[in-house]
A and B are shown apart, each in its own frame.
Chain A
Amino acid sequence: MSDKNFSIIGSYKTKNTVEKTAGVIFLACAFFAVLAVFSITLYMIISGTPAIFEVGLKEILFGTVWKPNAADPSYGIFYVIVTSIVGTFLAILIGVPIGVLTAIFLAETAPKRLAGIVKPAVELLAGVPSVIYGLLGILILNPIMYKLELLIFKDSPNHQFTGGSNLISAVLVLAIMILPTVINISESALRAVPRHYKDASLALGATHIQTIFKVMIPAAKSGIITAIVLGVGRAIGEAMAISLVAGNGANIPLPFNSVRFLTTAVVSEMSYASDTHKRVLFTIGLVLFAFIMLINLALNKVMKGGKKDANS
């Protein structure tokens, strides 16, 4: 009562300012992500394009010789691009069927208790740093591959021995690495299929397997596609796990060749590259970035399609 100046109008004014400031601050926070993506895109283009003008777009993208330190340097990354595509494709080809079938096992056919143990383990492995997969690749896969290599190429003098660091090792590491991602997302997609779909199919006389493959997988389609696309993204963007497993020679991606991916090219040479060489590495980064943006757009489409399905 002592405060004679108390008025609902004055209070309204300060409150109004606070309100407006709060709104603006939250908007600014939300714009942070837009700003980040915008500046990443901008900087990747700014630092990736000078080399294109210097060396020539065709020479970089379709050149097949990578000799950045030679007297007459050449910066062809064609094989590197092809390796990334082929390697990712093969990893998906191996990893996705195993992953999806494991997801079916966990969601449908496994005894509850077993699934209760396996599922947390899979979740744990999704968080394991990728470098650890690489470490195991070097110590377990590479020696096996080397023995295979010795066996197969015993009589061919033209073969360059790689000590087991080859495309197959890298693909296997990638396939294992994407397993947890594929399993987790496919499993939750399968679990999200409404219970009555399954019941109706079983009641009509379909067997459990028929129900899984003809009813549940089509219903969980968009979730499984999301899992695959995320797997592609993770495989194409992985650098550290395969940088020591793949051998790192810029060769044609044949199974027993030492190969170089877009990511490993950047990781292995960035620390000592300079001038044009360094700028070309940024161009490689830009190519990788372009691939990822395409994958993201695809993912966005799939997710939107999935939402539409759910609404209809």
Chain B
Amino acid sequence: MPTVNSIYDKRLRPLDGLIHGIIYFCASISICLLAGIVGYVAFRGLSSINLAFLTTVPSSLKGTFGIAGNIVNTLYIIIITLLIAVPFGVGAAIYLNEYAKPGKLVSLIEFTTETLSGIPSIVFGLFGYVFFGITLGLGYSILTGALTLVLMVLPLITRNTQEALKTVPDSYRSGALGIGATKWYMIRTILLPSAIPGIITGIILSIGRIVGESAALLFTAGSGFLLPKLGEYGEGLFQKVLQPGGTLTIQLFLSMEKADYDSAFGIALVLLAIVFGINMLTKYLAHKFNVNK
């Protein structure tokens, strides 16, 4: 009778093998799905992308369909949104990290920042439509859309800047203050330069969110697709801000509604390429940031 305990007699656990199988099965489902999505979009989209697609605007007169106007609108919205959101977001992060003492006020600010990042874009869309569009009288315009998106990307910038500020060693702060710098001088010359990579990561993630946004823009920025008219002195470039303008994602949605799937896949591929570029850039920066530490 084998009374000796030996590892050779170890109880086999068939359940382990089964669970292993399930894990591999689920992982392969996810991987196939995700790879399939990219592959299918690339496959269907490549045929509709050409120079005319990227450089013209839709025109029933010439019978062309292009997304140049949407690309310009997307750029407009990105620039205006960031111009407003970055100062506010960075300022908020500096306050939370450098000035605030833990207490009710800070937890209120942090809770609302969390909440802001959890509100679905359609609610932002409704709010922007009522507040910026109707109450402030901006109507359907690029400015309305950008202001709405400011609220959406603010938490991203605040959180990333905060993370970056947290990695600045305390000795830098004490050193600067110790040799007589004021707090503002210390923030301006020591903290902000050290936090720049984090701020840039926040900006890039925000661009990604703006590029992919649709529900918040449908009722705020509208769906214009024309290129801005330059005007005599280029004032048209500024007037465009108060005109409606649909981004790439909005155009994709509209093409989908019209069952124009070829253009839809073309736009989808352009969007995927942008998202891919943004991801690469974030990775590169994160890497650089780590090396500097």
Contact = CB atoms under 8 A, between A and B. Distances in A.
B265 interface: yes
A213 B190 CA distance: 46
Nearest to B279: A124
Contacts of A135: 252, 256, 261, 264-265, 268
Contact of A110 (B27, B33, B90, B100): B27
Contact of A37 (B29, B115, B218): B115
Nearest to A179: B30
Contacts of B34: 121-122, 125, 179-180
Interface in A231-267: 233, 236-240, 244, 263, 266-267
Contacts of A32: 88, 92, 154
B172 interface: no
Interface string B217-257: 01100000000000000000000000000000100110011
Chief secondary structure at chain A's binding surface: helix
B158 A127 contact: no
Given A26-B94, A28-B91, A36-B154, A238 B120 contact: yes
Contacts of A56: none
Interface residues of A, number: 85
B72 interface: no
A203 to B, nearest CB: 14
Given A240-B214, A240-B215, A33 B279 contact: no
A292 B249 contact: no
Interface stretch (A57-65, A72-80, A188-196, A282-290): A282-290
A124 B271 CA distance: 12
B130 interface: yes
Contacts of B293: none
B113 interface: yes
A39 interface: yes
Contacts of B121: 237, 239
A40 B99 contact: no
Given A34-B112, A132-B252, A263-B215, A29 B92 contact: yes
A22 B87 CA distance: 13
A203 B89 CA distance: 48
Contacts of A67: none
B208 interface: yes
Contacts of B279: 120, 123-124, 127
Interface stretch (A145-153, A154-162, A295-303): A295-303
A104 B23 contact: yes
B95 A26 contact: yes
A109 B219 CA distance: 46
A39 B150 CA distance: 14
B212 interface: yes
A122 B98 CA distance: 35
A15 to B, nearest CB: 5
Contacts of A266: 122, 126
B123 A288 contact: yes
Contacts of A18: 182, 184
B46 interface: no
Contact of B114 (A25, A106, A299): A299
Interface in A156-179: 176, 179
A101 B23 contact: yes
B60 to A, nearest CB: 21
Interface in B8-57: 13, 15-16, 19-20, 22-24, 26-27, 29-31, 33-35, 37-38, 40-41
Interface of A: 15, 18-19, 22-23, 25-34, 36-40, 43-44, 47, 97-99, 101-102, 104-106, 109-110, 118, 120-125, 127-136, 138-140, 176, 179-180, 183, 207-210, 213, 230, 233, 236-240, 244, 263, 266-267, 270-271, 282, 285, 288-289, 292-293, 295-296, 299-300
Given A109-B23, A128-B37, A244-B257, 10 more contacts: A22-B183, A29-B94, A37-B112, A40-B119, A40-B127, A104-B23, A121-B34, A210-B13, A240-B218, A270-B126
Interface of B: 13, 15-16, 19-20, 22-24, 26-27, 29-31, 33-35, 37-38, 40-41, 87-92, 94-96, 98-100, 108-109, 111-116, 118-124, 126-127, 129-131, 151, 154-155, 158, 182-184, 187, 208, 211-215, 218-219, 249, 252-253, 256-257, 261, 264-265, 268, 271-272, 275-276, 278-279, 283
